[in-house]
Amino acid sequence: MKVFSLYIFFTLLSIGALAQDLNARIQILSPKIQTANKRTFQALETAMKDFLNGRKWSADNILPQERIDCNFILNITSWDGSSAFTGELQVQSSRPVYNSTYTSTLLNTLDKDIDFTYTEGQTIDYTDQNFQSNLSSIMAFYAYIIVGLDYDTFSKYGGSPYFLSAQNVVNNAQTGGSKGWKAFDGTVNRYWLSENLNNKLYSSLRGFMYDYHRNGLDLMAENPGKGRKVIASLLPTLSQVDRQRLGATFPLIFFTAKCDELISIFTKADVPDRLQALDILSKADPANGLKYQTLQKN
């Protein structure tokens, strides 16, 4: 009987381990909150970490070393001293590059429309079927986006099921009345991010993400020149991405994550590839035009 109990224990333990898809690190900042007792913030940080890391977000069994690294930095700007919070949330994720110690940023976005209620000791409930709370919906939304972006870089359009799940979160959360979930809440928000990732207008950018990582970056540790040439051949795709469309959030998020990395890659390219990269990137991403000018240097 004792052996059987141990078997059940270790089986449940292994199932629990497999259920973890994310390696999420949570940090809560509250520089504007004047209080000596921040125990509630510590409890919130633990609850968010347990929620993100303890749930099954993908359809596959993810090994511990394959968990997706991500950071959630919540800056609380207002708290009523009880259960009502407002703030901003920085969400970052990355994926490893094959045969190297380098990790490539996939997501680096600041969500300014954060408001929720939380009471110390409260269980954070979530279901895909309906809206439970704004806090769990926000975390579930970004969990699906993180998983989807990761899958998109390992198989072409592999993230599609997770972007649909993120869109489902958006649809359900619209009943909650909080900002960030509707088209008219601004041009850069959760609604537009999920809309873009599910919109065929941006499928070329999603395809670029796959080829860039699997056929470009993943080759660079072994053959930097070959990997760089592949990426150079892919750059014209970025010229086709429509950034003028209302709610063009995905291109903005893409270039925020990739601008510095692209510059680093092409700084060491030969002159024709470097100048081509300068021309294409400056036009596709004018917001970072000054950064790309460094590619003019020898």
User: Taking 50 as the threshold, does the pLDDT of residue 3 lie above it?
Assistant: no
Q: Is the pLDDT of residue 18 over 70?
A: no
- 2 has pLDDT over 80: no
- How far apart CA 71 and CA 89 sit, in angstroms, is 10
| More confidently predicted of 168 and 7 | 168
Tell me what pLDDT residue 209 has: 98
pTM equals: 0.92
The residue with tokens 């511990």 is: 64
Task: With beta carbons less than 8 A apart as the criterion, state whether 53 and 20 touch.
Answer: yes
Q: What mean pLDDT is predicted for residues 21-28? A: 97
Specify the amino acid at residue 77. Answer: T
Look at residue 7 in the predicted model and tell me its pLDDT. Answer: 40
Quick one: pLDDT at residue 103?
97
Within 8 A by CB and 6+ apart from 181, the residues are 137, 170, 173, 174, 189, 190, 191
Q: Once rounded to an integer, what is the mean pLDDT over residues 254-269?
A: 97
End-to-end Cα, the chain, rounded Å: 73
Q: How far apart are CA 266 and CA 223, in angstroms?
A: 15
> What strands, in cross-sheet order, belong to the sheet with 22-29?
22-29, 68-79, 84-96, 103-117
User: Tens of pLDDT along 76-118?
Assistant: 999 999 999 999 999 999 999 999 999 999 999 999 999 999 9
270-298 pLDDT, tens digit per residue, is 999 999 999 999 999 999 999 999 999 85
